[in-house]
């Protein structure tokens, strides 16, 4: 099943300050680290002697707010690692609250701005974090623990015991296990609370030293021990891998390139190419075809390219099939010389089939009137 990911152009890195927005009562990483050294340790916390405390890698961070909060206490999510383990991959990160936070902050607001693609129950909102392989157009979401049933499956992730009694000025380590990453995947984008930390290196093996994940773990005191038996027995791990669909359009919306692991489609708006009920190319068509050809070549198209015409549902089905077929043929004839040598063009008219929007509005009808150039990604479907 393909799912559409709203992939925002927002990349947080260690080189920028996500706390710079006005009114944000937040800690910088340096201030948070200082606060951790003086914050009271929660009862039963997993601790290591100071000499044994490992260095803490910081791979990126994002600022968090709960719900529609615009002022007041917020949190910092810091990514520490993405590690490949048998049967899955682990996202290690921490959540830190500023000293100005009142009472005991509650971490479940973390997922308020996350896409709802996790198979985990919605109450475990930090399990909506995910790993994205943009090259292969795959999204790796939470694995589901064995024994979960009905509409409330659970993740293989930090439990409530390790997250309870959160205190301001602390950063707690949490984890989430997602579907296994292929060995060929060397770097990924990590999606946390609707924000992206880009180009994160994937390492092998759990982070060490490992400590009891059932107790609070402060940053610098070790990493949660992963239950490999739970990972091995997870429910249908293949269902936690989602095809990513991307779409890039020019400002006028005349040429839109959509891509999945299986196919690439360069879509041309028919209203710019043709007059109403006509298959004769308009004076503006040449510029549109040149942009479309550039996108096709940039995607490395080769072999057979399918050029398919579509209409809205105005008029008879037979007329729409004929009109869309003639429009596909006109585009093929005009764009052939702009494409790489050796490609074969196959045309067809689909009429009002496969609408991309409802035909109940003028806007929807406009989107459905199109000509699509469809081909396999470079190297074939993944």
Residue length, the chain?
382
Distance CA 230, CA 125 (A): 20
- CA 363 distance to own-chain centroid: 27
Q: Give the integer Cα–Cα distance in Å for 66 and 72.
A: 10
pLDDT at 49 (0 to 100): 55
250-375 CATH: 3.30.1330.60
Beta bridge partner(s), residue 204 = 84
Cα 198–202–205 angle (5° rounding)?
Answer: 150
**331, two tokens:** 């585009």
| Alpha helices (runs of H) in 242-352, residue ranges in sequence order | 270-273, 285-298, 317-335
Whether residue 219 has a cis bond before it, omega within 30° of 0: no
The CA distance from 50 to 53, in Å, is 5
137 and 244 Cβ atoms separated by less than 8 Å: yes
Q: What is d(CA 100, CA 35) in angstroms, rounded to the nearest whole number?
A: 12
Q: How many CB atoms lie within 10 A of CB 23?
A: 9
Phi-psi region of 316 (alpha: psi -120 to 50; beta: other; left: phi over 0): beta
pLDDT at 261: 86
Q: How far apart are CA 14 and CA 79, in angstroms?
A: 10
- What integer pLDDT is reported at residue 226 of this predicted model? 96
CA distance 371 to 201: 40
Nearest to 313 by CA among 278, 356, 353: 353
Vertex 151 angle, CA 67 and 155, to 5°: 70
CA-closest candidate to residue 177, choices 116, 119, 92: 92
C-alpha closest to that of 108 among 118, 117, 95: 95
SS3 call for 359:
coil
Q: What count of Cα atoms within 13 Å lies in the side-chain half-sphere of residue 37?
A: 7
What are the average pLDDT values for consecutive 10-residue runs of the chain, which has 382 residues? Answer: 37 35 37 44 57 77 66 75 97 83 53 55 62 90 78 73 72 92 96 88 96 88 94 92 86 89 93 96 95 93 95 96 97 95 95 94 95 86 58
The answer to pTM > 0.75 is no
Residue 211 and residue 231: Cα distance in Å, rounded?
A: 17
Q: In which residue are the tokens 């292929």 written?
A: 182
In 33-87, beta strands by DSSP E:
60-64, 72-73, 75-85
Neighbours of 365 (CB within 10 A): 19
Predicted confidence at residue 62, as pLDDT, reads 84
| Residue indicated by tokens 């479907």 | 381
Q: Taking the domains of the chain in order of start, what are their residue ranges?
A: 2-243, 250-375
C-beta neighbour count of 184 within 10 angstroms: 8
Tokens of 9: 């152009």
């Amino acid at each position: 099943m393909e799912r559409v990911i709203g992939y925002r152009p927002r990349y947080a890195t260690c080189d920028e300050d996500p706390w710079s927005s006005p009114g944000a009562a937040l800690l910088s990483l340096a201030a948070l680290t200082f606060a951790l050294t003086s914050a009271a340790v929660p009862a039963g916390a997993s601790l290591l002697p100071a000499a044994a405390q490992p260095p803490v890698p910081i791979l990126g961070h994002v600022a968090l707010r709960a719900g529609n909060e615009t002022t007041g206490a917020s949190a910092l999510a810091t990514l520490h690692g993405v590690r490949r383990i048998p049967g899955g991959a682990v996202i290690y990160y921490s959540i830190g609250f500023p000293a100005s936070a009142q009472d005991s902050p509650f971490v479940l607001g973390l997922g308020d701005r996350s896409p709802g693609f996790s198979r985990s129950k919605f109450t475990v909102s930090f399990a909506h974090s995910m790993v994205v392989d943009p090259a292969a157009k795959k999204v790796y979401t939470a694995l589901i623990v064995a024994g979960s049933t009905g509409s409330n499956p659970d993740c293989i992730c930090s439990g409530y015991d390790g997250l309870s009694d959160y205190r301001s000025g602390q950063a707690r380590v949490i984890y989430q296990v997602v579907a296994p990453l292929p060995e060929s995947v060397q770097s990924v984008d990590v999606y946390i609370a609707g924000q992206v930390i880009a180009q994160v290196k994937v390492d092998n093996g759990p982070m060490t030293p490992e400590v009891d994940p059932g107790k609070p773990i402060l940053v610098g005191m070790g990493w949660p021990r992963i239950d490999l038996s739970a990972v091995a027995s997870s429910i249908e791990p293949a269902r936690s891998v989602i095809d990513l669909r991307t779409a890039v359009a020019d400002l006028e919306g005349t040429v839109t390139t959509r891509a999945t692991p299986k196919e690439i489609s360069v879509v041309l708006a028919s209203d710019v190419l043709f007059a109403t009920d006509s298959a004769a190319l308009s004076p503006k068509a040449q510029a549109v075809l040149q942009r479309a050809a550039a996108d096709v070549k940039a995607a490395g198209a080769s072999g057979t390219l399918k050029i398919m015409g579509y209409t809205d549902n105005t008029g008879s089905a037979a007329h729409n099939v004929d009109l869309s077929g003639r429009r596909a043929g006109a585009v093929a004839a005009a764009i052939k010389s702009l494409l790489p040598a050796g490609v074969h063009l196959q045309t067809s008219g689909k009429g009002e089939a496969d609408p991309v929007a409802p035909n109940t509005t003028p806007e929807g009808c406009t989107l459905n009137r199109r000509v699509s150039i469809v081909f396999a990604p470079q190297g074939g479907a993944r």
